[in-house]
Amino acid sequence: NAGVMQNPRHLVRRRGQEARLRCSPMKGHSHVYWYRQLPEEGLKFMVYLQKENIIDESGMPKERFSAEFPKEGPSILRIQQVVRGDSAAYFCASSRDGDQPQHFGDGTRLSIL
Amino acid sequence: GQQLNQSPQSMFIQEGEDVSMNCTSSSIFNTWLWYKQDPGEGPVLLIALYKAGELTSNGRLTAQFGITRKDSFLNISASIPSDVGIYFCAGRFIQGAQKLVFGQGTRLTINP
């Protein structure tokens, strides 16, 4: 039962370093979404991608954050020059198409020292 | 941005009791989804609703898509210990926009 796989589950970085979060969608799913969750809050949309295309990045910070979903391999969320405020749980979801329900991975918990 | 108001924020109930929670919005939604999140894990889809007025059940869970398309509720009947967790409503509010907007969550605690 291969669900959405995210790695690493936990990631610790020092301020100024880069963080790379990976997401492999469910089998048969070609739509990927990234969300961020702060403690005691709901998830906030960041970006929506299909293979090799960014469809909606309206929730992405303008600087330091980027996402890709290459033809081969997992989707990557990249955060450059991390700051303390980037500490959060980052969740990836996938769906078969844009109208189907999104299924979530177990997240990557990013801690910035 | 668009907001979903989810209530109550927390519930403390006895095992066996029924539970009801709801979400409201000032905007029209085209899809309502209900998720449950356990500590350290991702949200797990419980019920998906696509039409105004739709009433859908999944075991002891029942959810409805409000007629006005601006609200939804989730009921859990005869609660059991494994129902403990945080429940989130989520919706798509614009036709063709695939991102989900989430409520703030309802934390359910059950006393045995």
* Separation CA A105–CA B13 (nearest Å): 29
Span B52-70, average pLDDT: 95
Inform me whether the pLDDT recorded for B96 exceeds 60.
Answer: no
Taking the C-alpha atoms of residue B80 and residue B102, their distance in angstroms, rounded to an integer, is 25
Contact residues on chain A for B6, CB-CB shorter than 8 A? 42
Band of the pLDDT at B1, cuts 50, 70, 90?
A: low
Pairing of the two strands A108-112 and A88-95: antiparallel
Give, in order, the Cα–Cα distances in Å from B73 to each of B19, B32, B69, B106. 10, 10, 12, 12
Find out whether the peptide bond into A39 is cis, omega within 30 degrees of 0. no
pLDDT tens for each residue of B8-35: 999 999 999 999 999 999 888 889 999 9
User: Please, is A83 exposed, middle or buried when counting C-beta atoms within 10 Å of its C-beta (0-12, 13-18, 19+)?
Assistant: exposed
A10, closest residue in chain B (CA to CA): B40
Confidence class of residue B2 from pLDDT cuts 50, 70 and 90? low
Count Cβ atoms below 10 Å from residue A84 Cβ, excluding itself.
9
CB A101 within 8 A of CB A93: no
Closest-CA distance of chain B to residue A80, Å: 24
Q: B98 vs A106: CB contact, 8 Å cut-off?
A: no
B78: left (phi over 0), alpha (psi -120 to 50) or beta: left
CB A93 within 8 A of CB A102: yes
- DSSP labels for B60-101? TEEEEE-TTSSEEEEEE-S--GGG-EEEEEEEE-STT----E
Cα gap A48→A87, rounded to integer Å: 21
Residue-wise pLDDT tens digits, A35-94: 999 988 889 999 999 998 999 999 999 999 999 999 999 999 999 999 999 999 999 999
Residue B18 distance to chain A (closest CA, Å): 24
Phi, psi of B66 (to 5 degrees): -60, 150
**B19-49 exposure pattern, b = at least 16 Cβ within 10 A, e = fewer:** bebbbbbeeebbbbbbbbbeeeebbebbbbb
Which residue from A6, A45, A55 is facing B100, i.e. has the nearest CB? A45
DSSP for A29-67? --EEEEEEE-TTS-EEEEEEEETTEEEE-TTS-SSSEEE
Q: Does A25 touch chain B (CB under 8 A)?
A: no
- Judged by DSSP in three states, A86 sits in helix
A48 at B interface, C-beta within 8 A? yes
- Contact B94/A at CB under 8 A: no
